[in-house]
Amino acid sequence: MAADFLKRKRIGEILVEMRAVTTEQLESALKRQPSLRRMLGEILIDDKVINEETLFRGLSMQHGIEFVNLSTTDLSPDLIRQIPESLIKTYKFIPIRKEPKSLTIAVYDPTNNKMFDSIKMATGFMFIKWVLATKTQILQIINEVLYRPQNVLDNVPIDELLKDVKLEFTKEENLFSEAFANTGSQSDLNLEELKRESDQTSIVTLVHKVILDAVKMRASDVHIEGFEKIIQVRYRIDGILYDILPIEKAAQMAIISRIKIMSNLDITERFMPQDGNFKLRVKNQQIEFRVAILPSIYGQNCTIRILDAGRVNLDLKGLGFHDDDLRIFEYNIGKPWGLCLLAGPTGSGKTTTLYSALSIINSRQKKIITVEDPVEFKIPGVHQMQVFENKNDPSRSLTFARGLRSILRLDPDIILVGEIRDYETAEITVKAALTGHMVFSTIHANTAIETINRLENIGIDPYLYASALCLLVGQRLVRKICPHCKTEIEQTPYLAASLGIEMKELETHKLYRGMGCKSCNNSGFRDRTGLYEVIEVNHELKEMIGQRRSSMELTTFLRKRKVKTLSECCLAKVLEGEVPIEEYIMINMGS
């Protein structure tokens, strides 16, 4: 392999031999390359010496790989849907040909060996062949063709609607540069004009349909993003963002103003972030929407979080716990005092797990108080407090620490602290657990055991929090296979080796993948399930934490106790046929 690399000609030499560039043009680009810190081909394209296709034809000669023009290649939508979408979007390739034991893909980076191994593992093909295609073509197919949810904004004449928008709104929203050139940035806006534009039937219909279709398609968030020439609407479904609809740039101010009016925000404020909320009744179900407005160089962006209480599963058994882990979890949350910490990145379902725990132990004999940012869902019988920041008078802000101090004076039995972010909150939380309260909270850490390092880095004495801890839980969410298009896939020795198990063991299970259907918007996935790393903090583990044992020593101890890791939990769900293989790959990659 090293010998082949040494024999391989440089791309500059190949382009000169192709007579695509002159020696002078090549030398000029090479001289500027160290200061520009860019690939040689990119510099030559920027200089308009060559185009992208010429560069990739040169690369195909350099690597001895066939070059294909995807615009003239007959691509099979069915074949593309057979390949996991997350795999294609992670490694940026297009499947173009399938044979009994091999798959041919188009790539723009033939040096990424990890990509080929992952594709083998996820698809089950013994051989992966590849051809070269331009980066622009590959990304264009991924962004514009693959896995876009279907039937978006149905029953509305969208073409006519967007035509009306284009005709009615011709003024683009001013950029930041104009704002700084204008000290009276708000005075040049006509409030009545903004209201009139945002109240136009076409804008009202468009905004409402975007929001209601997001609910219909089980989206958790709606992103309305301004770019130089368009506005892009995107939905986050099962943790993944999908491009939904491009809208004329001229309608940006009216759309944002309409959402601000619905959220009771200041429609004349264009240069400061704003937060608000509104409620809609959909099929007799009241749904709350949390709105965040953020200014950018291309105007204001908007993100709408959908808080649909009807879709939230607060049944612990349905969250994804394995039976033995669920027994440990339920036993510890029922203790009279102690500290239960959930670790995981943003969006990993920590709050839902904590709400589920509260719903189990909630009773009229106990007083439960929470301090959250924000309150996601209202729980009957629980006193919930939301933190807030008063920018005009910081002394009147309600922080986690201040709210927690107040809670302790109200004689609670159980306390939920939305998140431990700083030393003051961590200290009060630990002391509350040590003084006879059951305390639940979350903390940003990759695994349950990394919670120990996180608390120490915040500045809490290990001996102190070791005494308080009773349960550590690491959590992730992974997508489930759509039950409507669930298809069994072939088992191979390579697949078994990639999963780290023997072929004999693999043969006792069936592996599946979603092929894509109307029910899952052609993604192959529907809903998500949790992975849980559950650690019961017993006396021996408390002593090890108090002695500041290393993470490696703690991990070795837990392995002896057969505590399942997140990766092992995911593997179990793959073998049970609930989760596809690519989710296991992503978990092992640390995603």
Handedness of CA 8, 9, 14, 15 (dihedral sign): positive
In terms of C-beta distances under 8 Å and separation of at least 24 residues, what long-range contacts does 226-232 make, across chains too? 226/173, 226/252, 226/296, 226/298, 226/299, 226/300, 226/301, 227/298, 228/298, 231/255
Does residue 523 register a pLDDT over 50?
yes
Per-residue pLDDT tens for 171-181? 433 433 333 33
Higher-confidence position of 182 and 146: 146
Q: Which of 192, 211, 215, 293 is nearest to 252 (CA)?
A: 293
pLDDT (tens digit, 9 = 90+) per residue, 563-576? 999 999 999 999 99
Cα-flanking dihedrals φ and ψ of residue 434, to 5°?
A: -80, -15
Give the Cα separation of 197 and 31 in Å (integer).
54
Would you place residue 535 in the very low, low, confident or very high pLDDT band (cuts 50, 70, 90)? Answer: very high
Q: What is the pLDDT, as a whole number, of residue 514?
A: 85
Taken in order 86, 89, 92, 97, the sign of the CA dihedral is: positive
Tokens standing for 61?
């000669």
SS3 (DSSP) at 72? helix
Look at residue 148 in the predicted model and tell me its pLDDT.
52
Q: Between residues 75 and 198, which one has the greater pLDDT?
A: 75
In the chain, % helix, strand, coil (3-state, to 5) comes to: 45, 20, 35
Quick one: average pLDDT of 479-499? 83
3-state secondary structure of 286: strand
Q: What is the pLDDT of residue 294?
A: 94
Q: Is the pLDDT of residue 500 over 50?
A: yes
Q: Given the structure tokens 């990394």, which residue do they identify?
A: 450
Q: Burial of 97 by CB count in 10 Å (0-12 exposed, 13-18 middle, 19+ buried)? A: middle
Q: Are 491 and 506 in contact (CB under 8 A)?
A: yes
Residue 306 has pLDDT above 70, yes or no: yes
Rounded CA gap, 476 and 385, in Å?
A: 26
Q: Quick check: 408 pLDDT over 70?
A: yes
> What are the backbone dihedrals phi and psi of residue 184, each rounded to the nearest 5 degrees, phi first?
-95, 60
| Closest residue by Cα to residue 494 from 581, 418, 412, 400 | 581
Q: pLDDT digits over 320-379, tens only?
A: 999 999 999 999 999 999 999 999 988 888 989 999 999 889 888 999 999 988 888 888
Query: What integer is the mean pLDDT of 83-91?
Result: 77
The whole-angstrom separation of Cα 236 and Cα 222 is 7
Query: Taking a C-beta distance cutoff of 8 angstroms, is the pair 454, 443 a contact?
Result: yes
Give pLDDT, residue 111: 81
> Could you give the CA distance from residue 74 to residue 94 in angstroms, rounded to a whole number?
12
- 89 or 410, which is more confident: 410
Number of H helices, E strands in the chain: 26, 18
Whole-angstrom distance, CA of residue 329 vs CA of residue 323: 10
CATH of domain 70-144: 3.30.300.160
So what's the pLDDT on residue 578? 93
Q: What is d(CA 310, CA 280) in angstroms, rounded to the nearest whole number?
A: 13
Measured distance CA(110)–CA(277) in Å, rounded: 48
| Alpha-carbon separation of residue 120 from 76, 103, 248, 583 (angstroms) | 20, 9, 42, 14
Please tell me the predicted confidence (pLDDT) of residue 259.
92
Count of alpha carbons within 13 angstroms of residue 452, beta-carbon side: 25
Output Rg (C-alpha) for the chain, integer angstroms.
28
Under a CB-based contact definition with an 8 Å cutoff, are residues 355 and 314 in contact?
yes
Strand partners, 471: 340, 536
Q: What is the dihedral of CA 193, 199, 200, 201, to 10 degrees?
A: 180
Q: Whole-prediction pTM value?
A: 0.71
SS3 category, 396: helix
Give domain limits for the chain.
Answer: 2-63, 70-144, 158-311, 316-477+529-572
- Supply the pLDDT for residue 1: 43
Given a contact cutoff of 8 angstroms between Cβ atoms, the answer to whether 566 and 587 are in contact is yes
Asked whether the predicted pLDDT for residue 492 surpasses 80, the reply is: no
pLDDT of residue 164 exceeding 50: no
Task: Please tell me which residue, 89 or 288, carries the higher pLDDT value.
Answer: 288
Instruction: Judge if the upstream peptide bond of residue 374 is cis by omega within 30 degrees of 0.
Output: yes
The per-residue pLDDT for 144 is: 64
pLDDT at 123 over 90: no
Task: State the average pLDDT over residues 416-434.
Answer: 91
Judged against a pLDDT cut of 50, whether residue 392 lies above it is answered with yes
So what's the pLDDT on residue 215? 87
DSSP string, 204-245: HHHHHHHHHHHHHTTEEEEEEEE-SSEEEEEEEETTEEEEEE
First to last CA, the chain: 31
Per-residue CA distances from 447 to 185, 348, 356, 534 (Å): 47, 12, 20, 10
Dig out the tokens for 572 from the structure: 């179990």
Say if residues 461 and 565 touch (Cβ distance below 8 Å): no
Among 17-31, 224-238, 506-520, the minimum mean pLDDT is found in: 506-520
Three-state secondary-structure class, residue 428: helix
Range in 39-53, 58-72, 100-114, 472-486 with the lowest mean pLDDT = 100-114
- Cβ partners under 8 Å of residue 134, min gap 6: 52, 53, 56, 70, 108
The CATH number assigned to the domain with range 158-311 reads 3.30.450.90
Report whether 531 contacts 566 (CB < 8 A). Answer: yes
Average pLDDT, stretch 246-274? 88
525, 481 Cβ separation under 8 angstroms: yes
Average model confidence (pLDDT) across the chain: 83
What percentage of the chain carries pLDDT values higher than 70? 87
SS3 of residue 304 by DSSP: strand
Low-confidence winner among 385-394, 454-463, 475-484 (lowest mean pLDDT): 385-394
Tokens at residue 575, please? Answer: 């073998």
316-477+529-572: in CATH 3.30.1490.270: no
Give the separation between CA 283 and CA 286, rounded to whole angstroms. 8
pLDDT score of 474: 94
CB of 36 closer than 8 Å to CB of 43: yes
Examine the pLDDT at 480 and tell me if it is beyond 80.
yes
Cβ neighbours, 10 Å, residue 16: 17
The H or E element that residue 95 is part of is strand 94-98
- Choose from 129-133, 160-164, 245-249 the range with maximum mean pLDDT: 129-133
pLDDT at 196: 60
